[in-house]
Amino acid sequence: MKIYSLTVLLIALLLTIFSAAALAAGQEFIIINASDSDLYDLSIMPANSTARGPDTLKGQELLSGRSIRAHFPNYDPRVLQWDIVGLTCCGEQLKWQQLDLKATHSITLRAGGLAELK
């Protein structure tokens, strides 16, 4: 009985470690800016969150008509919908809300809060 309990405990520990490693890996996207505005900060956070996520652009600019490969470190597959908030040079805030990023490899950000996910 002790060996069985120890085996179950070891398996649970390994699953916890591998799950945490998978969550820590994050996700990468191609982000295409088709919004007609240059973006200087881009945060991705759980939908309706009041706390902004880290700057996905990491100090780079995402000019209108350009794309960038971005690492999304706080991606959590348990979150069903995400919001993206961008800032322009003048401090204007642009929002793309309630996006399902689960199987997404590219995000096209369009004017008016529209986003195309592929």
Gap between the Cα atoms of 42 and 56, Å rounded: 5
List Cα–Cα distances, 34 to 40, 88, 101, 108, in angstroms. 14, 13, 18, 6
Gap between the Cα atoms of 101 and 76, Å rounded: 10
Gap between the Cα atoms of 55 and 53, Å rounded: 7
Give the amino acid at 49.
S
- pLDDT, one tens digit per residue, over 31-72 is 999 999 999 999 999 999 988 888 999 899 999 999 999 888
Model confidence at 4: pLDDT above 80: no
Q: How many CA atoms lie within 13 A of 49 on its CB side?
A: 18
Could you give the 3-state DSSP secondary structure of residue 96? Answer: strand
Fold of 26-117: Immunoglobulin-like (2.60.40)
For 3-7, 17-21, 85-89, 90-94, which range has the lowest pLDDT when averaged over its residues?
17-21
Single pTM value for the model: 0.77
